[in-house]
Amino acid sequence: MELLQGQFLSPLSHEAAWGQNRVVKVEPPGEGNHWEATVPGGYCWSPVAIRFTLTTSAEAGSRVPAIFIESGSGTRLAEIGTSESTKESHTVTDTFLREFGNNRLNQNLSSTGTMPNLLIEQGWKIGDATVGLLAKDAFTNITLWVEEFEIAFDHTIQKAERAIRDAEELEEAFHG
């Protein structure tokens, strides 16, 4: 589905016109599994930040935290990684921020990745694409902060035309 300019903006309320901030909590998927979130029908998301905790098993190997963006048809459009890898037996909080440079924060306790300023359509997915994830590795505290826009046509012109017709009908009924 292609959105036209103004299709998801509504002048009826400030929240609809500018989007509403929403916190999306994702259920941990269980050991060795990647997580994902799907944009609900009727909405578009502009991700502001994504944060999750990865606890790696004692099994040797490097894990490189990353996220993906996938279209509703299943086409993987982007994979965005951090600049650091995580070794065995660590718990790391990874944060992806909109338009923020790759930096290591908190002395090896967390890493960041940069997301572009995107508008993700209904039915699209955003999720984990960590490279090297092992069977006993686990994700927790998965949180997305998004600006959420309701998909609704801008009905300003139609409402104005209806108001003019109503006024004309009222004037005709009043003046006969």
Rg for the chain (alpha carbons), in Å?
A: 22
Question: What is the helix (H) or strand (E) element at residue 171, kind and residue range?
Answer: helix 156-175
- E strands, the chain, are 20-26, 36-38, 43-55, 66-70, 76-81, 91-98, 104-105, 110-115, 125-128, 138-150
**55 located within any domain:** yes
> Residue 128: its pLDDT value, please?
96
**4 located within any domain:** no
Please compute the mean of the pLDDT values over residues 8-23 and round it to a whole number.
Answer: 59
Taking only the tens place, the pLDDT of each residue in 62-117 is: 999 999 999 999 999 999 988 778 889 999 888 888 876 555 555 444 667 788 88
- Residue 22's DSSP bridge partners are 146
**Contact criterion met (CB below 8 Å) for 42 and 122:** yes
Whether pTM > 0.85 for this model: the answer is no
Residue 154's pLDDT band (cuts 50, 70, 90) = low
Count structural domains, the chain. Answer: 1
Structural domain harbouring 130: 14-151
**136 located within any domain:** yes
CATH number where 84 lies:
2.60.120
**105 located within any domain:** yes
Residue 160's pLDDT band (cuts 50, 70, 90) = low
pLDDT above 50 (res 136): yes
DSSP 63: B
Taking only the tens place, the pLDDT of each residue in 40-75 is: 988 899 999 999 999 999 999 999 999 999 999 999
**57 located within any domain:** yes
